[in-house]
Chains A and B, each alone.
Chain A
Amino acid sequence: MNDTTNDRVATRYSVGALRIERLAGTDWRHHTIRVWSQYGDCGALAAGGVARYSSPMPHAVEAELVENKQLPQDNYLLTFRAPSISSETLPGQFVMAAPKTHQVVPSPLLKRPLAVYSVHGPLLTVLIKAIGEGTARLGLMRPGQIANLIGPLGNGFDLTAGRGKINFLIAGGVGIASVYLLAQKLKQQGDETHLLYGARTAADLILLDDFQALDVPVVPATDDGSCGFRGFVTAALGDYMRGYDISLLNFYACGPEPMLKAVSAFACAQHIPCQVSVEARMACGFGVCLGCSVKTKDGYRLACSDGPVFQASELIWDKS
């Protein structure tokens, strides 16, 4: 451990050994050499666990699609065989993905960032909602076909923040993709975890069974009241948290920007620790194109390599 290193890096990743000195005193926002642990566990690292250095060390691989499970509302759960990525993915990290093509100029040209929904041995599952051309083409993939994946990318959720806390995972729409692996890990470390899940309508509330199988209580909310609470998930949150000791609460959120903005404002006002996973258009996914800037109290930072998970208290949301 090196305490002269920027606190955030030090606390989040439990920095140790050689490269650390390089990190010390650097403008870490632009520093691509990051430190992480496949355990995501500062304690284990401090005790001498194996740390991985030099960025999240993503792998660029060709991965076979093993299963394409179609879900309601144009959602697809794609499972790839990608052992090098699956074995190193932490909750909240993502991959860049595109179907492999023999065209010199792929269409669309750029890969799409996708949150890792779950990992199981060599298998890695992502959730996509077919909205644009990139996601639509992924949704059309058949088992046996190959995708180009880069990952794991980004900085995931800090699990230590959830230790000994009552964790509320607050997800909106396809944002559910980012919190399943998180729920799994929180339950594994023995921490109380609840899911508050908002969507437009009942059919959009997908994958509830997966969370119920983890014994995670699910609080659904729909805009039209077709399932659970009628209204935004943030309103459901205000309701649901009555009866809980506020000082024990810890939030993790992922969803559309208005939802994240509302959850962040609420958490900050109540002094509840809150991490949010943001979404942004990006070209590369690994800190080079600088396209995915996010406004923070510390200036612009990158959703791909500084995030996608940020502390709610450090983000600045635009008014519009």
Chain B
Amino acid sequence: MASTVNLAVEISGIRFKNPVLTASGTFGYGLEFAQFFDISRLGGFCTKGLSLLPMPGNPPGRIVETPAGMLNAIGLENVGIDCFIREKLPLIEHYDTHVIANILGKSVDEFAELARRLDPFPKISGLELNISCPNIKEGGIQFGHNPTMASQVVTAVKRATTKPVWVKLSPNVTDITVVARACQEAGADALTLVNTFVGMSIDVNKRRPMLSNVTGGLSGPAIRPLAVRLVYQVARAVKGIPLVGIGGIMCARDALEFIIAGATAVQVGTANFTDPLAALKVIDGLEEFCRKQGISDIRELIGSISDCEG
């Protein structure tokens, strides 16, 4: 007898119909994927990182495929917050899915200003602070590597917005729990773990980097075990804040690893490039898994890992 499975989860006061979001930088502004499937089926999606002014991005030579993954150094090309509000937001208004605006500032004030500009728009369910982009010189990662600065950004944004604030953390740190805790203490409502890992690839014939930026962010299945471990680590060390797991999720099984490790929801990223329907398949797969396992509510799985001590 087929019973219904509850896939809905709540994070920072936002009720998602299922725990599957798509990741910033892999889903445009949502519309690009609307031509392949009904994006209202998603729990939500994160916009491409938005800055106060439009950003042109890095020179060509921005991506390269690597074993089970890819390096990117896009350089946060985006249309800017004003254009987003004026031109993109009205078009995504009628989709029944949560929109998390990923924002990026070069200073604490810029982060706060971005939050302020987005505050009047009910379609934006929450903000995700990108303090972890490895591909630009100013802003981003300088906040993500320093718990004091991360804390300042979160404090300033919380003051500037009424919306829930998620912080997307960098894995390129010695101890991610330090930054995670600093964000929590500053009032962050959820943490997204993790952004890309800094990597590099070399053209051996030309003896020069494959990417114009020299280094790039590694994403895709290659990073999944690293990301799962970081989610697990933070889930155990930092209690009382929901986690959103991300890193190389290709299918429902991969998403389950993050959920069982302690994530309340997941984000699908690079898989959207491999298969535009990847996120949908993850949703369907989660439901199927729960049904087969006799699990009526996916929330039972969150952080359900049984540790083998010793």
Contact A291 B79 (CB under 8 A): no
How many angstroms between the C-alpha atoms of A293 and B26 in the bound complex?
A: 15
Q: Which of A28-36, A115-123, A188-196, A233-241 contacts B (4 or more CB under 8 A)?
A: A28-36
| Interface presence of A6 (CB below 8 A) | no
Q: Which of A102-110, A206-214, A215-223 contacts B (4 or more CB under 8 A)?
A: A102-110
Contact A288 B28 (CB under 8 A): yes
How many angstroms between the C-alpha atoms of A54 and B35 in the bound complex?
A: 8
Q: Which of A43-51, A81-89, A261-269, A278-286 contacts B (4 or more CB under 8 A)?
A: A278-286
Total residues of chain A contacting the partner, CB 8 A: 39
How many angstroms between the C-alpha atoms of A108 and B66 in the bound complex?
A: 8
Report which of A26, A54, A289, A300 forms a contact with B273, defined as CB distance below 8 A. A289
How many angstroms between the C-alpha atoms of A108 and B67 in the bound complex?
A: 7
Contact B250 A104 (CB under 8 A): yes
Report which of B32, B250, B270 forms a contact with A286, defined as CB distance below 8 A. B32
Contacts of B232 in A (CB 8 A): none
Q: Which residue of B lies closest to A278 (CB)?
A: B60
Contact A60 B56 (CB under 8 A): no
| Interface presence of B297 (CB below 8 A) | no
CB interface residues, A 86-132, toward B, < 8 Å: 104-111
Q: Which of B69-77, B175-183, B192-200 contacts A (4 or more CB under 8 A)?
A: B69-77
Contacts of A299 in B (CB 8 A): 56
Per-residue contact bits, chain B 22-50, to A (CB 8 Å; 1 contact, 0 not): 00011111011111100000000000100
Report which of A60, A109, A290, A293 forms a contact with B270, defined as CB distance below 8 A. A109
| Interface presence of B138 (CB below 8 A) | no
| Interface presence of A27 (CB below 8 A) | yes
CB interface residues, B 224-252, toward A, < 8 Å: 250-251
- Also in contact, A60 and B277, with CB within 8 A (given A55-B35, A289-B26, A293-B59): yes
Contact B32 A109 (CB under 8 A): no
| Interface presence of B91 (CB below 8 A) | yes
How many angstroms between the C-alpha atoms of A292 and B57 in the bound complex?
A: 11
Report which of A32, A111, A290 forms a contact with B74, defined as CB distance below 8 A. A290
How many angstroms between the C-alpha atoms of A31 and B31 in the bound complex?
A: 9
| Interface presence of B63 (CB below 8 A) | yes
Contact A27 B87 (CB under 8 A): yes
Using CB atoms and an 8 Å cutoff, list the residues of chain A in contact with chain B.
22, 26-27, 30-33, 54-55, 57-58, 60, 104-111, 148, 150, 280-284, 286-295, 299-300
Provide 29 A-B residue pairs closer than 8 Å at the C-beta atoms, listed in order of the A residue: A22-B87, A27-B83, A30-B79, A32-B28, A33-B31, A54-B34, A58-B35, A104-B221, A105-B68, A109-B65, A110-B70, A110-B273, A110-B274, A111-B274, A150-B276, A280-B60, A283-B270, A284-B276, A288-B27, A289-B26, A289-B72, A289-B74, A290-B57, A290-B74, A290-B77, A291-B62, A299-B56, A300-B59, A300-B60
Given contacts A31-B87, A287-B28, 13 further A-B contacts (CB under 8 A): A60-B275, A107-B68, A109-B220, A110-B273, A283-B63, A289-B25, A290-B77, A293-B60, A295-B59, A295-B60, A300-B56, A300-B60, A300-B77
